[in-house]
Amino acid sequence: MIPLALQPFTPNLIDDARQILGYDFMQNAVLAGTFTALAAGLVGYYVVLRNEVFTSDALGHVAFTGGLGALLAGLQLLLGVFASTIAVAVGMGTLGGRARGRDVAIGTIFAWVLGVGVLFLSLYTSTRSGSGGGTAGVSILFGSILGLQQAQAAITAAAAVITTLGLFAIARPLLFISVDPDVAAARGVPTALVTVLFLILLGATVAEAVQAVGALLIFGLMVTPAAIAQRLTTRPFMGLLLSGALAIAFVWAGLALAFYVAYPASFFITALAFGTYLATMIFGRVAALRGALA
């Protein structure tokens, strides 16, 4: 169903929204994007708080290889992405403190994981006809939110809703563990269980975010909104909600921009997030400077 002519952007935002949502692919993108952004913003808040930024980077690499591996085996891409990220997230978490601070070993392993992904990509594009000259790889790396099928969008949105609910269920003990693990353990919080649950949620969120912004750009949705929120408020649940709201705002604005300007949505989402982060940082510096002068 394609409306006859694409109207240009007008100052009447309600008309614009109606126009944007008149397309199936935009409906799918908004559906998947909104819930993914919510989950990513919320989980990302804990990722930044727990200083696990580079775990999510590594999981993005795993998603690339897992997704292409599934395609190669004739399975659903989503299945491979979810299975691989959740398995590796839990694996990394249970190896626990042993893996921390060993960036050489981790870097070597994940460079190899990506290398395997490249092999899969090459095998996939050379063995399957009609795979579009290797665009499958690009869409995993940089996202394909405007190309989602209705079923994919529905699955992604449902997974994101489950992730969000799961996070709310463990939000309070997880916060306690993240801020002061020793005291939390002494107070009887089941530290190991909550940590594993969080890692499962993290793996699932990365898998969802890969759909929206791509394996390489998940930072833009998982880390940047949370980093902005933590600069703006020190109150934890306020920050958590702000992070989720910012992520949704970036996705909506990014989708709208991509609708009118024919460049990748993931670029706009990432650029908006980064610009806001930069503005918050500069604003914070200026405010601090004024405070020092006054």
Partner 1 sequence: MAQQGLSWDLLADLQLLLQFHFMQNALLVGTLVAILAGAIGYFVVLRGQSFATHMLSQVGFPGAAAGVLVHTSPVLGLIVFCVAGALGIGWTGRSVDAGRRGESAAVGSILAFSLALGLLFFRLYAGSAQGIYGFLFGTILGITDSDVLLTAATTVVGLAVIAVIGRPLLFASVDPDAAEARGVRVRAISIAFLILVALSVAETVQVIGTLLIFALLVTPAAAAQRLTARPGLGLALTIALSVLFMWSGLAIAYFSLYPVGFFVTSLAFATYLAIRLFRAASRDHHRPAMETAT
Q: Is 223 in the site for partner 1 (CB under 8 A)?
A: yes
For partner 1, the binding residues in 22-81 under the rule CB under 8 A are: 48-49, 51, 53-54, 57, 61
For partner 1, the binding residues in 77-106 under the rule CB under 8 A are: 101, 103-105
Q: How far apart are CA 125 and CA 118, in angstroms?
A: 11
- Per-residue x/- marks for partner 1, 272-291, CB under 8 A? -xx--x---x----------
Q: How many CA atoms within 13 Å lie on the side-chain side of 45?
A: 32
Between the CA atoms of 28, 162, 56 and 226, what dihedral angle is there, to the nearest 10 degrees?
80
Q: Is 115 in the site for partner 1 (CB under 8 A)?
A: yes
Q: How far apart are CA 85 and CA 62, in angstroms?
A: 6
Q: Is 230 in the site for partner 1 (CB under 8 A)?
A: yes
For partner 1, the binding residues in 140-169 under the rule CB under 8 A are: 141-142
Sign of the CA dihedral running 280, 285, 288, 290: negative
Q: Is 263 in the site for partner 1 (CB under 8 A)?
A: yes
> For partner 1, which residue of 43, 121, 194, 210 counts as binding (CB under 8 A)?
121
> For partner 1, which residue of 7, 135, 149, 150 counts as binding (CB under 8 A)?
135
Amino acid at 99: A
Contact 15, 217 (CB under 8 A): no
Nearest-approach distance from CB 126 to partner 1, in angstroms: 8
> For partner 1, which residue of 116, 154, 171, 253 counts as binding (CB under 8 A)?
116
Q: How far apart are CA 192 and CA 205, in angstroms?
A: 20
> For partner 1, which residue of 63, 89, 227, 255 counts as binding (CB under 8 A)?
227
> For partner 1, which residue of 19, 144, 195, 270 counts as binding (CB under 8 A)?
270
Nearest-approach distance from CB 25 to partner 1, in angstroms: 18
Q: How far apart are CA 229 and CA 293, in angstroms?
A: 26
Q: How far apart are CA 5 and CA 238, in angstroms?
A: 43
Q: How many CB atoms lie within 10 A of CB 174?
A: 22
Q: Single out the segment in contact with partner 1 by CB under 8 A; choices: 23-31, 82-90, 114-122, 161-169.
A: 114-122
Nearest-approach distance from CB 155 to partner 1, in angstroms: 24
Q: How many CB atoms lie within 10 A of CB 227?
A: 23
CB closer to partner 1 out of 103 and 180: 103
Q: How many CB atoms lie within 10 A of CB 57?
A: 18
Q: Is 107 in the site for partner 1 (CB under 8 A)?
A: yes
Going from the C-alpha of 176 to that of each of 49, 123, 171, 184, 282, the distances in angstroms are 11, 46, 9, 6, 31
DSSP state of 5: S
Backbone angles phi, psi at 23, to 5 degrees: -100, 140
Residues that bind partner 1 (CB under 8 A): 48-49, 51, 53-54, 57, 61, 101, 103-105, 107-112, 114-116, 118-119, 121-123, 133-135, 137-138, 141-142, 216-220, 223-224, 226-227, 230, 263-264, 266-267, 270-271, 273-274, 277, 281
